[in-house]
Amino acid sequence: MRSSITGVVVSLVLAAGLGGCGSDEAEPVKPEAAVPAAKTPVATAPKPATAPMDQAKKAAPGVPNLEDVARELVNPDPEVRIDALSGLDVDEPGDIKLLRRALMEDGESEVRVEAADLLSYSDSPRALSALKEALADPEPNVVVAAIEALEYAGDENIIPDLRPLLSHRDAEVRERAQEAIEYLE
């Protein structure tokens, strides 16, 4: 594809007299000579086999694909895992699945907090379900992140899930649950 476009461009440049060998002045060219015959090939992009975003994820440098992210999510360094999460698209089911897994299973609370924060931007029922499950996390900072994410979703149907947290052992969890309930009522 690229070579055919290059060939057309070179042909047009030469036909226009801009490809002169050592001459500073191009000779005038008759208009009919500047454009090759009516059957000049027109470069068209092939129709993508998949959605444009899928192609961008696969082809664009610096944009990780799911396999790369999945590999990074088992890296022993929590910062690498957090960076991997930030490259996920919260509107893609496969990415939501990875975020959910990180929220439910990662051994570091900082990674789980990041997953909860990212899931707050999703409208997916799977994301909301994962955030509700995270309300039972043993780490208060993860529970607070889940409360904040659910509050951000703005769905008053989660109030019954927040009420038990009003008697949580951690004061910050109790406070954030109360604030979220008041906001959503």
Task: Report residue 154 as tokens.
Answer: 């703005």
Neighbours of 119 (CB within 10 A): 30
Q: How many CA atoms lie within 13 A of 173 on its CB side?
A: 20
Alpha-helical segments (H) within 35-135? 52-59, 66-72, 78-86, 93-105, 109-119, 125-134
pLDDT (0 to 100) of residue 145: 98
The pTM of the whole model exceeds 0.75: no
pLDDT (0 to 100) of residue 3: 39
Task: Report residue 41 as tokens.
Answer: 């090939």
Task: Report residue 21 as tokens.
Answer: 């060998």
Q: How many helices (H) and strands (E) does the chain have?
A: 11, 0
Question: What is the CATH code of the structural domain delimited by 52-184?
Answer: 1.25.10.10
CA distance 73 to 61: 20
Q: Give the mean pLDDT per block of 10 residues along the chain (185 residues).
A: 36 37 45 44 40 41 70 93 94 94 97 97 94 98 98 94 98 98 96
Reference 142, options 134, 151, 152, 150; nearest CA is 134
Per the listing, tokens 């993860």 go with 142
Grouping H, G, I as helix, E, B as strand and the rest as coil, residue 66 is: helix
pLDDT (0 to 100) of residue 45: 41
Task: Report residue 142 as tokens.
Answer: 């993860």
